[in-house]
Structure 1
Amino acid sequence: MIFDRKNLDNDTLLAFYKKLLWPRLVEEKMLILLRQGRIGKWFSGIGQEAIAVGSTLAMHPDEYILPMHRNLGVFTTRDIPLSRLMAQWQGKASGFTKGRDRSFHFGTQQYKIIGMISHLGPQLALADGIALADVLAGRNNATLVFTGEGATSEGDFHEALNVAAVWDLPVIFLIENNGYGLSTPTNEQYRCTHLVDKAIGYGMEGRRIDGNNILEVYHTISELAADIRQRPRPVLIECDTFRMRGHEEASGTKYVPQHFFDEWKQKDPLDNYEQYLISEGVLNQNMIAGLKGNFWLSIEQQLEQAFNEPDIIPSVETELADVYKPHDASPIPHGNTFTQKRYIDAISDGLRAAMREHDNLVIMGQDIAEYGGAFKITQGFVEEFGKARVRNTPICESAIVGAAMGLALNGYKAIVEMQFADFVSSGFNQVVNNLAKTWYRWQQGVDVVIRMPAGGGTGAGPFHSQTNEAWFTKTPGLKVVYPAFPADAKGLLLAAVEDPNPVVYFEHKYLYRNISAEVPDGYYTIEIGKAATIQSGNEVSIITYGWAVHWAMEYAAAHPDISIEIIDLRSLQPWDKEAVEASVKKTGRVVILHEDTLTNGFGSEIAAHIAEHCFAWLDAPVMRCGSLDTPIPMHIGLENQFMAKSRLGEVMDKLMKY
């Protein structure tokens, strides 16, 4: 192994050695604790430390790094106390996730580190968003994100690199190629000769380096980071290395031929660098022994400090209170002037008001810039706000949702337009596992709104007509709104923008140009989680939302002999239990009406709640009216048959006979 010190003096070389030695000794101690049964799991990075340490040393302290679960050296090089890391690993209250997540699955703004989730690939897109925020803010920063050779097979890898290339984002994508994804060797992972060759396909620069040579890693990252800070663009680096332990200790290493261990043992990053420093006169055996002795003592002290911390005492109240980031949700009142607007225009008006109010708000989506979006909601936005804030995206829902999260991590707000709500399935993981869980896991707000043009009525068939709110209402950490009227559409959209939690905002395509109403001018919000009483009655309650509110109104208008109370939920997560309970207790009969399919639609949750909390006031069974349990068809006759509206009369007749 050839080391090139370049302009590094002896003190710096020695400092690098200390940074490299510390995580190795910590790892060795962790393996001892594992054998003693004092810890339950460990992902070892022994043999790969030069990558984590060298690259972290090359980055500025205020630049973000997004590591993986084998990158202890990132955390230690950023000087996170071992006692706090151990508290995290042991699930202590002083850890970063309060016992809610494992190992390195956390982030910390204090140290500018954003940890992974178990799905590996999604964090690459977060780096895109973080870098985009730096570019928009005029900060000359680079962002470093790690991945393994196995995760390069994921679609998230492709999407994130493609977006970074198209947008010229200053991201260093670093692949740790250690030969195996758990037990799967590289020849079963990809067919290209080297992973760095993939850079060509994205139109970006690529480098392949010796990941076990700390100076080569440091100099390469330093030079590239310095360059892309001034000339923003992404680069791909492949670091050749080897995993000397199992994927995690329980998996063992029997699937790896012994000759690989023999070969890579000779390339050990710590041993080789140590011998180089001895040859340079920077280090000697007495110094090594002294450093190791002091480090061992510090490790023992800090680990015992963490072990001696009290265990977390579970509290239902604490856990429930930490699902969402608290904020003042008091409604911003509207003024006294109103303008007649269509539903679609109210949404556009709300977006424009939000963009004017928040200069750190970015809108992203397919065809939303010059074209104005598939439904022309953002038409004219580029002329007012510019392409930096109104961004056309490649067709890659996962990367764009991830980039929106990255923007939020780095001080921005983001709105993502799904061209159709159906397409969110391609970004589902980012929504339900990254956006939704981040505040609960490590108390980081995620200021992202996802706009979801949803629903049928236009003969668009199974992939453009779903109303898929139930995919999200059961996911803790997400808020879900579904306005039925223009004024609510604007007010709830602005409330979603104000909220520091991720909000899934459903807007019904059929309503876009088919309803109009008076909409307050200016900037105002409607509290998320509050229902509206559309009309009062005392014989039966119809609990509904979205397009179905209008079905209920049509039915009530056609049956003036029945005193019907209509409750428009407006928000589905959280939903207004008090309003629903009050209505049911008043009327004694209830129909829950929604456009979604009947089985496991959101109405099931409402029905269960009513049965549990309002049973004594019911004069009849709780009735649900949902759409057929089939995919939504295209043909107008089939679609009409599918819709819950076609069965509302039948359900009401059945209910009123009790």
Structure 2
Amino acid sequence: MNFDRKSLTDQQLVHFYQSILKPRMIEEKMLVLLRQGKISKWFSGIGQEAISVGVGLALDPDEWIMPLHRNLGVFTSRNMPLNKLFMQWQGNREGYSKGRERSFHFGAREHHICGMISHLGPQLAIADGVALAYKLRGLGKVSVTFTGDGGTSEGDFHEALNVAAVWGLPAIFIIENNGYGLSTPVNEQYRCDSLVDRAKGYGMEGVRIDGNNLLSVYDTIRGVRDYCIREQKPYLVECMTFRMRGHEEASGTKYVPKHLFDEWAERDPVKKFEEWMVLQGLLTYSEIEGIRGAIKSEIEQELALAASAPEIVPDTEEELRDVYSSGGGMVRSEVVEAAGSIAAGAGSEKRFIDAIKDGLDLSMQRHGNLVLMGQDIAEYGGAFKITEGFVDKYGKARVRNTPLCESAILGTALGLSLEGYKSMVEMQFADFVSVGLNQIVNNLAKIHYRWGQNADVVVRMPTGAGVGAGPFHSQSNEAWFVHTPGLKVVYPSSPEDAKGLMIAAINDPNPVLFFEHKALYRSISGLVPEGYYEVPIGKAKTVREGSGISIITYGAGVHWALDYANAHPEISIDILDLRTLLPLDYEAIRSSVSRTGKVVILHEDTLTGGIGGEISAWISEHCFELLDAPVMRCASLDTPVPFNIELEKNFLAKSRLAGIVQKLLGY
């Protein structure tokens, strides 16, 4: 192994040796603790340390890194306190995730490290978002993310690299090619000669290097970093290496031919660098023993500190509270003032679609750090023309057409959040969110609970049937997200609420799914205040008070209920517009139930698994004494949404509302 020191000083080289030795010695200690049952799981990076350490040393300390399982050297090179790392691995409250996450599934803002999730691929697009933030601010920085040879088979790899290339982002993508994805060898993962060959296909540069040579990794990353900043382009680096232990300790290594261990043992990154340091006269064996002794002493002292941490005592209120980030939103006086102007009738008549646009426009004016992203949203103005004219007002840097890749753009939005940006991602149709589901339910939704990082992202969801668009442009999929802690789900029915909820969603520091019924865009109008105001998330609205029967609903269902009520003045109907589906306004639900004692829950979504089942269960558990009849649900058929208009009418819940109301009244 040839080491080229170039301009590195003797002192730097000694520091490099200490830096690569430290994670090795920590790992050796962790393996002992694993056998003793003091930690539950370990993903070993023994044999791969040169990559993590070389990358960590090559970057500025305030440049974000997105590491994976085998990147302990990233954490140690950022000088994270060992006792806190040990507590993290032991599942202690005083670790980085309050005992909520395992091993390396965590991050730390102060160290500019964003922890992984088990799905691996979503990490890559976060680097896009961080790099975009650097680019927008004109900072001379890069983001760096890791993947393995197996991870390159995921769609997220393709999407993240393509976005980085198309947008010219200063991001470095590092492949740790250790020959195996768990037990699957690379010849069963890909057929190209080398993974770096893929770089050209994305229109970026790439290089393949010896991942066991610390100085090669360091020098390469330093040079690539300079290139990415200077050219404002991404770069792909394939590091050839080998994992000397199992994917994780329980999996073993029986699937690996023995001769590979023998061959790679001769290329051990720690041993080879140590030998070179001695040959160069930079260290003596006596000095090496001194360094080892100092690291060992530090490990034992830090372990003792970690061992003294108290046991976790679960606090249910804290657990629930930490699901969401606090803050955001307008001050209370502004909300009250806006409510007063609405009551006074100070506003103008606007269509539903124009109210959404108004809320977005005012938010772009209020928040200079708000970035809009979506397919065709720039010059074209989006599929429904909501962002038409925005690119002329705010520029292409903030109103960004995206490639056709929902997952990467949602990951990019999370990366922007790491650097303090707000973002809005438009799904062209709510149906298409399924290909970005992982980013929403596992990355955006959980990150604050996991390690305190908020995801300041709004996802706009043009939804619903009634326009003859068929099975893939008409779904009501809000229930997918109501089941996911950490998300907020809003669904306005009126122009006034659409504008106020849009502003509130963008002000909120948490991920918000904003559902907009397509059939309401140009068919519904109403008085909308001209100013900048919020409709509070989590608050339902009584649209009409009554004493005979309650219809609890949202979205287009509000208008179906109003049409029915207007056609049947002989029935005293109480209509509650939920407006927010997560969190639900249980107080408003109870109030409506108490006024009538008979409840229909109406929604356009299909019956089975729809939110109506959850609300019905809650009413039965908490309002049973107020009921005069069973809670009934009125929902669409348990079929895909049909294309033919007559079939679609039959599918929709609206066609069954009259029958269910009459059945309940006659109970």
What range describes the TM-score normalised by the shorter chain of this pair?
over 0.9
* 1:206 aligned residue: 206
* 1:111 aligned residue: 111
- Structure 1 residue 307: deviation in Å? 2.0
Structure 1 runs of 4+ with >6 Å offset: none
Measure, in 1, the Cα distance between the counterparts of 2:193 and 2:226.
29
- Structure 1 residue 294: deviation in Å? 1.3
Measure, in 1, the Cα distance between the counterparts of 2:532 and 2:25.
57
**Partner deviation per Cα, 1:109-149 (whole Å, 9 max, x = no partner):** 10000111000000100000000011111111111110000
Measure, in 2, the Cα distance between the counterparts of 1:635 and 1:488.
31
* 1:10 aligned residue: 10
Secondary structure in structure 2 of the residue aligned to 1:207? strand
* 1:591 aligned residue: 600
Q: Is 1:288 aligned with 2:288?
A: yes
* 2:223 aligned residue: 223
Measure, in 2, the Cα distance between the counterparts of 1:522 and 1:109.
36
* 1:350 aligned residue: 359
* 1:340 aligned residue: 349
Matches within 5 A, 1:596-611: 596-611=605-620
* 2:641 aligned residue: 632
Matches within 5 A, 1:154-169: 154-169=154-169
> After the TM superposition, which of the residue ranges 130-139 and 417-426 deviates more from structure 2?
130-139
**Partner deviation per Cα, 1:331-362 (whole Å, 9 max, x = no partner):** 63425631111000101111100000000000
Counterpart amino acid of 2:283?
L
- Structure 1 residue 104: deviation in Å? 0.8
> After the TM superposition, which of the residue ranges 73-82 and 227-236 deviates more from structure 2?
227-236
* 2:21 aligned residue: 21
Measure, in 1, the Cα distance between the counterparts of 2:149 and 2:103.
20
* 1:462 aligned residue: 471
Measure, in 2, the Cα distance between the counterparts of 1:228 and 1:156.
21
2:412 aligns with one of 380, 403, 406: 403
Q: Is 1:427 aligned with 2:439?
A: no
- TM-score (ref. length: structure 1): 0.99
- Structure 1 residue 304: deviation in Å? 2.1
* 1:441 aligned residue: 450
**Partner deviation per Cα, 1:450-481 (whole Å, 9 max, x = no partner):** 00000001100000000100000010000000
1:545 aligns with one of 550, 554, 564: 554
- Structure 1 residue 316: deviation in Å? 1.2
- Structure 1 residue 368: deviation in Å? 0.2
Measure, in 1, the Cα distance between the counterparts of 2:595 and 2:96.
47
* 1:566 aligned residue: 575
* 2:152 aligned residue: 152
Counterpart amino acid of 2:403?
P
Measure, in 2, the Cα distance between the counterparts of 1:549 and 1:498.
26
Measure, in 2, the Cα distance between the counterparts of 1:350 and 1:317.
34
Counterpart amino acid of 2:362?
A
Counterpart amino acid of 1:389?
R
* 2:248 aligned residue: 248
**Partner deviation per Cα, 1:265-299 (whole Å, 9 max, x = no partner):** 00000111011111111011000111111111111
Secondary structure in structure 2 of the residue aligned to 1:626? strand
> After the TM superposition, which of the residue ranges 530-539 and 321-330 deviates more from structure 2?
321-330
Counterpart amino acid of 1:427?
G
Secondary structure in structure 2 of the residue aligned to 1:146? strand
Matches within 5 A, 1:16-415: 16-327=16-327, 329=329, 330=332, 332=335, 333-334=337-338, 335=341, 337-415=346-424
**Partner deviation per Cα, 1:568-627 (whole Å, 9 max, x = no partner):** 000000111101101101111010000000111011111001111111111111010000
Counterpart amino acid of 2:115?
G
Measure, in 1, the Cα distance between the counterparts of 2:21 and 2:35.
22
Decide whether the 8 Å contact of 2:51 with 2:217 is kept in 1.
yes
Secondary structure in structure 2 of the residue aligned to 1:459? coil
Measure, in 2, the Cα distance between the counterparts of 1:211 and 1:49.
9
Change in CA separation of 1:570 and 1:188 when aligned onto 2, cut-off 3 Å: same
Decide whether the 8 Å contact of 2:601 with 2:634 is kept in 1.
yes
Measure, in 2, the Cα distance between the counterparts of 1:328 and 1:268.
50
Secondary structure in structure 2 of the residue aligned to 1:110? helix
- Structure 1 residue 238: deviation in Å? 0.2
Measure, in 1, the Cα distance between the counterparts of 2:34 and 2:484.
34
Decide whether the 8 Å contact of 2:84 with 2:95 is kept in 1.
yes
Q: Is 1:499 aligned with 2:487?
A: no
Measure, in 2, the Cα distance between the counterparts of 1:410 and 1:198.
29
Measure, in 1, the Cα distance between the counterparts of 2:38 and 2:322.
29
Measure, in 2, the Cα distance between the counterparts of 1:491 and 1:2.
64
- Structure 1 residue 489: deviation in Å? 0.3
Measure, in 2, the Cα distance between the counterparts of 1:116 and 1:353.
35
- Structure 1 residue 303: deviation in Å? 1.2
- Structure 1 residue 230: deviation in Å? 2.2
Decide whether the 8 Å contact of 2:328 with 2:507 is kept in 1.
no
Secondary structure in structure 1 of the residue aligned to 2:448? helix
Segments of 5+ residues of structure 2 without an aligned counterpart are: none
Figure out how many residues of one structure are paired with residues of the other and give that number.
658
* 1:450 aligned residue: 459
- Structure 1 residue 228: deviation in Å? 1.5
Decide whether the 8 Å contact of 2:38 with 2:90 is kept in 1.
no
Measure, in 1, the Cα distance between the counterparts of 2:327 and 2:165.
36
Measure, in 2, the Cα distance between the counterparts of 1:103 and 1:311.
18
Counterpart amino acid of 1:115?
G
Measure, in 1, the Cα distance between the counterparts of 2:628 and 2:40.
55
- Structure 1 residue 227: deviation in Å? 2.1
Secondary structure in structure 2 of the residue aligned to 1:100? coil
Segments of 5+ residues of structure 1 without an aligned counterpart are: none
Secondary structure in structure 1 of the residue aligned to 2:425? strand
Q: Is 1:650 aligned with 2:659?
A: yes
Decide whether the 8 Å contact of 2:328 with 2:509 is kept in 1.
no
> After the TM superposition, which of the residue ranges 313-322 and 51-60 deviates more from structure 2?
313-322
- Structure 1 residue 328: deviation in Å? 5.6
Measure, in 1, the Cα distance between the counterparts of 2:38 and 2:501.
50
Measure, in 2, the Cα distance between the counterparts of 1:546 and 1:148.
44
* 1:472 aligned residue: 481
Measure, in 2, the Cα distance between the counterparts of 1:230 and 1:498.
34
Measure, in 1, the Cα distance between the counterparts of 2:609 and 2:228.
50
Counterpart amino acid of 2:146?
F
Measure, in 1, the Cα distance between the counterparts of 2:462 and 2:578.
18
> After the TM superposition, which of the residue ranges 590-599 and 225-234 deviates more from structure 2?
225-234
Measure, in 2, the Cα distance between the counterparts of 1:79 and 1:577.
47
Decide whether the 8 Å contact of 2:129 with 2:416 is kept in 1.
yes
Q: Is 1:486 aligned with 2:495?
A: yes
Measure, in 1, the Cα distance between the counterparts of 2:608 and 2:37.
46
Counterpart amino acid of 1:466?
Q
Secondary structure in structure 1 of the residue aligned to 2:520? coil
Counterpart amino acid of 1:75?
F
- Structure 1 residue 554: deviation in Å? 0.4
